[in-house]
Structure formats: structure tokens, C-alpha cells
């Protein structure tokens, strides 16, 4: 197998690609799995973008938080710049909701606290995400982790169309980003609410259709929150306000979550919004001073406390967030043994909290940045050896599906070896063609930033010819290994062949040896890549479909072995005579 190396990292497999570049599963010098994002040439060739990325990477590397995929390393001065992050082995929120359905209210509370923790930690470092969406939230062992922090902001500066529109996922880009205005922390609270709405309903809160229609709904605040738990609607509606200055602050979102968790409707919400306020010139910008705002700039919903940004959140807020997370009736009950002490204070459900002056918000309780949530302080999934492989369930199940098909082919070899060999050769040509086209498509994205479907189809004849040559070369060693093992089993060198089954045993052993050499030998990388791709497309994205295919192949393999055991004999068609007749006679 040809191994690709990038700096100190050995690339194992492509995990995905997009406008920023291609993400690979890789291993570091200590054989620990990491995610390596190779940046797109449009970013790599932009010196301003590189400088901003370098600044943000330096900042983000100091952040250690259980809800954030840590930035571990970066090399931005080479011809192929890349960023290395923690490898998160799990599903995206999109896939999780697709497979398991929308979140219930108690799950939403837990999910909302986790995202709030992560966003607050990064805001304290002076970075705004700007691109929080279901695809940027991973679910690992039932717990959310946020990826692509900060890097998206610098990258977006060079990913604009000729009309100035920032490219992104419609329905998850806040109004100020669409308008080309500066973003701040409240931009992320908008993304937080849009992501929460998706988790609660399974659909984009601004619907589908043309990008112009979706952007129009975003700009006018017409979010579809049907299906969102009733107590969450006022909070999400407030966070999705088109005017950033009217959205709640992180502290207010925290208090609203605590109220929801204790069975109350959050007090910051209101059914009828007040008239749009004057533009707020006092929003605290990350990395910049605040400008005094007009007295009415922070007007909120009618009859409710005014929204105020408050001072920039200090670097010691996570401890109180964790404490408040437990001070209400939480999902997990009392803290597990070994966790931090928690003040058990539950506000009565029928008493509204007293009005607070949000003009001067109290600082959160003291705790170091990156202090894990007490419930999860020991949950470091990377302290245990990780299995190297694709992180998503679909990729893993595709590999298992291919393995089941390989085992089926080995079993069928004992019944009809020549027919099975012909099918394997056809599969190799097809899989290698697909593997070559996938790699070519990825390389064109890396080189030019785009790859059209028509261009990929036009290259099919070349890919097919390449696959044929690779198949011919790739069969040499597997056939040699298979023949050698077949000869040893036919002669019963080890004395382990069951009497009366010499031919069948030799064929099964030969097929097994040939399969191992074929799968891991020279020129095998595109065979594996193409096989997994075909399995994924043929079975679809459903886990049920994959398991059905695996089960069917396994049952057929067992039936084939039972048929062999019944003594039906080997069919050598289209060959007339068995090649074993040319070998010395075996009395077994």
C-alpha cells in the first residue's frame, strides 16, 4: 500500500471534502489518530488568510475543552498548508438525527448546555465560530463535540462570490454574515439556535428551496419552529432574531436553559416583539473595544428585560456554567462520584426569579478555562487506544459489508471456483475504476477547488483502462499465494485436511490467502476505496440497509459451507477437468 505522508502525519483515509479542502484520517508519530485538514488552494494562496489562520490556530491550541475538537498542530507556511485537530469518532448531528430521530426536550436541554459550554470557551479566547450547523457538531458516545472552531471565520473571508455573498449552508448563515457585516458572539448564538431547532425537528428551520428564498426567510426572521418543544420556542425565537443586538447574551441563554430544565417557560421570551430598535453601536466585538450605544439600543421583547451584551465574558466562566447546569433538575441527577462538588439549589417551579439588572452582568464563578464539565471530567476518549478507521458509522458499515462479501466469495470458491474467480475479477475492475475516479475527483478539488460531474464522467474510459491494468498486475501475487497454499493443503503438509474434502479444503484455504494478499498487497488502496464506495452507494445511507446486506451475505456464506459439507462436490465449469488432477494423488 502506498502511504501518503504530510509532515509528521501519515494519511490513512479521506474522511470528507468541501470548500475549505479535504479532511483525512491520519496518525501522528505516536500512532494516535488525528484529523488532518489540507487547505484549499484559494486559502493556501492567500497570504492574508494564512496570517489570520495562523493567529487563530495559535489561540485555539490553548483551548482544552471536552466539547471542542482540539487544534493540535498546524503548518501554514508550506506549499500544502494543513491544520491538525483531534479525531472525533462519531456521527454528525445530521446523521444522528436522521438515524435516531429528533431530540426530546430533556435531550435538548443537555445538548444546549454542551454547545453553550463550547461556544463560551472559544468566545473567551477571542474567536467567533460563525459556521455552527449540524454538520459541524459530532455526536460521540451520545455526547456532542464541536469541530472547525475559528478556522471557518478566516476561511470565509476568501470564499465569496462575485456578488459578495459568503458561501455556506443556507439556513445556517446568520443575517449579518449574509449581509457581509461584522460578526460577534451573538452570531454564534444565532447558529446555536438554528442548530438546536434542527436537533428538535430534524429539518432546517428556514426550509428548503432556492437560496434566495431561504436567505429571505433568514433576513425576515421567519423560522419554522413547528415541532420544537413548547418551552424552547421563546428562547430559540429570541436567538434567531435578525437583529443581533436584540438576541439574548450567553448568560441569558444559560439562565433560560436552567428555567426550562426546572419545568418553566424562560422569562426572556415574549410572544410579540417590540418595534425594531435603533442599531446598537455598543455590541462587544471580539478583539475590539465597545462604543457607547444609545439608551434604547438594547430594547428586547415587549414586557421583558432588555437584552444586553454585557461585558465580554471572562475566561473563568465555565465553572459556574457547570454549577448552574447541576443546580436545576438535570438529566443526570446528582454528580457522579469523583466529580466536583455541586451546590444543590433548585428554584421553586412556581416562583419566577426576581428581576435582574442585565446592564452589569455578574461574572461567572471562577474556574480555569477548559475545566471539564463535572459530569464528563474523566471522559477523555483518546486516552484509550483508538481503532484506526473511518469515523462515521456509514464508512465502518460499508467496510463490514465488503468483508461479508469477501467471506461469501471464499465460501463459494469451494463450490464453483472458476465462476467465483470471474466475478472477483469483474468486481476488481469495477471497484478499481470507482476508486480511481474518486481519487481523481478529490485531487481536482484540491487543485482547482471544483470538479464537475461531467468532467468525472468524461474520464471514465481512462479510469476503466487504468483499473484493468491494475487488476492484471494486482492479481499476480494473490494467484501465486493462492496456488502455493492450495498445493500445501492438497498434499496435506500439515496433516489437518479432513478425509474426503481435500479439494474443497484446498480451495477455501487458497481463496483466503489470495483475498488477504489482494486486499492488503500492492495496488490495493484504490481497490479498498472503490469497494467501500460501491457498497455505500448500493446499500444506501441507512444503517438498516447495511446490516441487512451483511446478514444476507453471512447467511449465504453459511449455506454455501453447508452445501460443501453435504458432499455435493466442486463444479469447475467452464473448465472441463479439475486442475488438481495434474498434481500428485492425495489419498485424503
Annotated binding-site members for ATP: 37
CA distance 84 to 23: 9
Contact 189, 248 (CB under 8 A): yes
DSSP string over 516-527? HHHHHSTT-HHH
The gap from C-alpha 117 to its chain's centroid, in whole angstroms, comes to 19
Contact 301, 238 (CB under 8 A): yes
Cell 446598537 found at: 280
Longest dimension (CA), the chain: 101
Q: Give me 451's grid cell.
A: 470538479
Contacts for 161 with CB less than 8 Å, ≥ 6 apart: 167
Q: Which residues pair with 33 in a beta bridge?
A: 27
Contacts for 83 with CB less than 8 Å, ≥ 6 apart: 36, 37, 39, 53, 57, 71, 73, 74, 76, 151
Contacts for 213 with CB less than 8 Å, ≥ 6 apart: 207
CA distances 373 to 122, 254, 324, Å, are 15, 14, 11
The gap from C-alpha 376 to its chain's centroid, in whole angstroms, comes to 21
Contact 111, 253 (CB under 8 A): no
Contact 499, 588 (CB under 8 A): yes
Phi, then psi, of 26 in degrees rounded to 5: -145, 175
Write b or e for each residue in 525-546: b if 16 or more Cβ atoms lie within 10 A of its Cβ, otherwise e.
bbbbbbbbbbbbeebeeebeeb
Contact 462, 433 (CB under 8 A): no
CA distance 327 to 342: 8
Cell 478499481 found at: 432
What's the order of all strands across the beta sheet hosting 137-140?
91-92, 137-140, 143-146
What angle is formed at CA 253 by the lines to CA 252 and CA 256, rounded to 5 degrees? 85
Q: Give me 506's grid cell.
A: 484446498
Q: Which residues pair with 34 in a beta bridge?
A: 26, 86
Contact 246, 268 (CB under 8 A): no
Q: Residues at the annotated binding site? A: 37
Q: CB-hemisphere CA count at 13 Å for 180?
A: 8
Nearest to 322 by CA among 133, 118, 142: 118
Amino acid at each position: 500500500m502506498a502511504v501518503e505522508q504530510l509532515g509528521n502525519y501519515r494519511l490513512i483515509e479521506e474522511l470528507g471534502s468541501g470548500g475549505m479542502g479535504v479532511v483525512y484520517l491520519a496518525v501522528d508519530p505516536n500512532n494516535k489518530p488525528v484529523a488532518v485538514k489540507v487547505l484549499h488552494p484559494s486559502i493556501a494562496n492567500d497570504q492574508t488568510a494564512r496570517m489570520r489562520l495562523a493567529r487563530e490556530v495559535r489561540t485555539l491550541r490553548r483551548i482544552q475543552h471536552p466539547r471542542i475538537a482540539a487544534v493540535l498542530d498546524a503548518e501554514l507556511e508550506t506549499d500544502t498548508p494543513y491544520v491538525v485537530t483531534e479525531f472525533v469518532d462519531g456521527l454528525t448531528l445530521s446523521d444522528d438525527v436522521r438515524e435516531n430521530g429528533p431530540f426530546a426536550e430533556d435531550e435538548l436541554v443537555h445538548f444546549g448546555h454542551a454547545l453553550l459550554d463550547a461556544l463560551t470557551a472559544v468566545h473567551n479566547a477571542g474567536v467567533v465560530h460563525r459556521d455552527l450547523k449540524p454538520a459541524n457538531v459530532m455526536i460521540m458516545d451520545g455526547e456532542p463535540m464541536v469541530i472547525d472552531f475559528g478556522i471557518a471565520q478566516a476561511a470565509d473571508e476568501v470564499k465569496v462570490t462575485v456578488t459578495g455573498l459568503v458561501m455556506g449552508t443556507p439556513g445556517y448563515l446568520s443575517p449579518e454574515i449574509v449581509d457581509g457585516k461584522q460578526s460577534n458572539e451573538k452570531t454564534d448564538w444565532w447558529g446555536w439556535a438554528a442548530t438546536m431547532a434542527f436537533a428538535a425537528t430534524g429539518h432546517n428551520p428556514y426550509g428548503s428551496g432556492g437560496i434566495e428564498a431561504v436567505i429571505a426567510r433568514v433576513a425576515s426572521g421567519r423560522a419554522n419552529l413547528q415541532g420544537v418543544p413548547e418551552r424552547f420556542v421563546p428562547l430559540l425565537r429570541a436567538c434567531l432574531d435578525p437583529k443581533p443586538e436584540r438576541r439574548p447574551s450567553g448568560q441569558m441563554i444559560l439562565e433560560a436553559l436552567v428555567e426550562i430544565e426546572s419545568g418553566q417557560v424562560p422569562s426572556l421570551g415574549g410572544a410579540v416583539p417590540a418595534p425594531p430598535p435603533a442599531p446598537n453601536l455598543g455590541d462587544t466585538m471580539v478583539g475590539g473595544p465597545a462604543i457607547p450605544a444609545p439608551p434604547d439600543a438594547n430594547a428586547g421583547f415587549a414586557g421583558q428585560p432588555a437584552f444586553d451584551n454585557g461585558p465580554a465574558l471572562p475566561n473563568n466562566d465555565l465553572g459556574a456554567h457547570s454549577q448552574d447546569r447541576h443546580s436545576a433538575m438535570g438529566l443526570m441527577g446528582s454528580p457522579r462520584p469523583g466529580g466536583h462538588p455541586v451546590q444543590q439549589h433548585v428554584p421553586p417551579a412556581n416562583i419566577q426569579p426576581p428581576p435582574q439588572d442585565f446592564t452589569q452582568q455578574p461574572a461567572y464563578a471562577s474556574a480555569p478555562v477548559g475545566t471539564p464539565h463535572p459530569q464528563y471530567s474523566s471522559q477523555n476518549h483518546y486516552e484509550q487506544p483508538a481503532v484506526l478507521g473511518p469515523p462515521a458509522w456509514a464508512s465502518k458499515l460499508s467496510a463490514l459489508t465488503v468483508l461479508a462479501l469477501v467471506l461469501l466469495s471464499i465460501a463459494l470458491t469451494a463450490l464453483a471456483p472458476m465462476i467465483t474467480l470471474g466475478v472477483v475479477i469483474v468486481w476488481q475492475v469495477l471497484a478499481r475504476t470507482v476508486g480511481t475516479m474518486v481519487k481523481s475527483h478529490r485531487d481536482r478539488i484540491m487543485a482547482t477547488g471544483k470538479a464537475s460531474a461531467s468532467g468525472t464522467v468524461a474520464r471514465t474510459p481512462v479510469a476503466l483502462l487504468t483499473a484493468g491494468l491494475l487488476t492484471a498486475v494486482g492479481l499476480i501475487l494473490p494467484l501465486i499465494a493462492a496456488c502455493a497454499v492450495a498445493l500445501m493443503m492438497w498434499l496435506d503438509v500439515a496433516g489437518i485436511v479432513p478425509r474426503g474434502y481435500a479439494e474443497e479444503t484446498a480451495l477455501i484455504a487458497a481463496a483466503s490467502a489470495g483475498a488477504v494478499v489482494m486486499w492488503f498487497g500492492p495496488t490495493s488502496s484504490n481497490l479498498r476505496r472503490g469497494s467501500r464506495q460501491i457498497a455505500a452507494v448500493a446499500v444506501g445511507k441507512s444503517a438498516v440497509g447495511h446490516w441487512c446486506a451483511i446478514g444476507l451475505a453471512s447467511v449465504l456464506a453459511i449455506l454455501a459451507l453447508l452445501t460443501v459439507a453435504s458432499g455435493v462436490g466442486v463444479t469447475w465449469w467452464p473448465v472441463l477437468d479439475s486442475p488438481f488432477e495434474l498434481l500428485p494423488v492425495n489419498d485424503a
